[in-house]
Amino acid sequence: MKAKLFISLLILLISSALASGLHAETRARFLFIGDIMAHQQQLDAARYKGKNKALRNTYDFSPQFRRVKPLLINSFLVGNLETVFAGTVQGKRKINYSGYPMFNTPDSLINALSDDLEVDLLTLANNHIFDKGSEGARRTAEVLDSADLHWTGLGLDDVPSNDAYILDNNGITAAFVNYTYGSNLWPKDNKDVHLNTISDKNIIAGLERAKSFKPDVIIACFHWGNEYHYKPNSHQIRAADTAFDNGASLLVGTHPHVLQPVEVRVSSNDVKAVAWSLGNFVSFQRTLPRERSYILSAEFVKDDSGATRLAKLGAAPLYVVAPGQKRTEVTYSGTDENTINKLDFKGLSKSMLAKIRRTGRAVLDFLGAGDDVDEYGFYTLWTEDEPDKLPVSRRKSPKD
Say how far apart CA 184 and CA 103 lie, in whole Å. 11
Per-residue pLDDT of the chain (400 residues; tens, 9 = 90+): 444 444 444 444 444 444 444 458 999 999 999 999 999 999 999 999 999 999 989 999 999 999 999 999 889 999 999 999 999 999 899 999 999 999 999 999 999 999 999 999 999 999 999 999 999 999 999 999 999 999 999 999 999 999 999 999 999 999 999 999 999 999 987 889 999 999 999 999 999 999 999 999 999 999 999 999 999 999 999 999 999 999 999 999 999 999 999 999 999 889 999 999 999 999 999 999 999 999 999 999 999 999 999 999 999 999 999 988 888 999 999 999 999 999 999 999 999 999 999 999 999 999 999 999 999 999 999 999 999 999 999 999 999 7
Residue 132 lies in a domain: yes
Residue 356 lies in a domain: yes
Residues with Cβ within 8 Å of 346's Cβ and at least 6 positions away in sequence, in order, are none
The total number of residues written for the chain in this structure = 400
**pLDDT per residue as tens digits for the range 221-276:** 999 999 999 999 999 999 999 999 999 999 999 999 999 999 999 998 899 999 99
Residue 10 lies in a domain: no
How many distinct helices (H) and strands (E) make up the chain? 9, 19
Say how far apart CA 137 and CA 126 lie, in whole Å. 11
Q: Are strands 93-94 and 89-90 parallel, antiparallel or unpaired?
A: antiparallel
pLDDT at 11: 46
**pTM for this one?**
0.94
- Among the listed residues 214, 211, 233, 212, the one whose alpha carbon sits nearest the alpha carbon of residue 224: 233
Residue 176 lies in a domain: yes
- Among the listed residues 226, 233, 280, the one whose alpha carbon sits nearest the alpha carbon of residue 100: 280
- Among the listed residues 327, 353, 342, the one whose alpha carbon sits nearest the alpha carbon of residue 377: 342
Say how far apart CA 316 and CA 318 lie, in whole Å. 7
How many domains does the chain fold into? Answer: 1
Range of the domain at 177: 27-383
Say how far apart CA 129 and CA 136 lie, in whole Å. 8
Domain CATH for 119: 3.60.21
Residue 397 lies in a domain: no
User: Are 109 and 155 within 8 A, CB to CB?
Assistant: no
H helical segments located in 170-294: 200-212, 234-245
Residue 79 lies in a domain: yes
pLDDT at 23: 56
Residue 399 lies in a domain: no
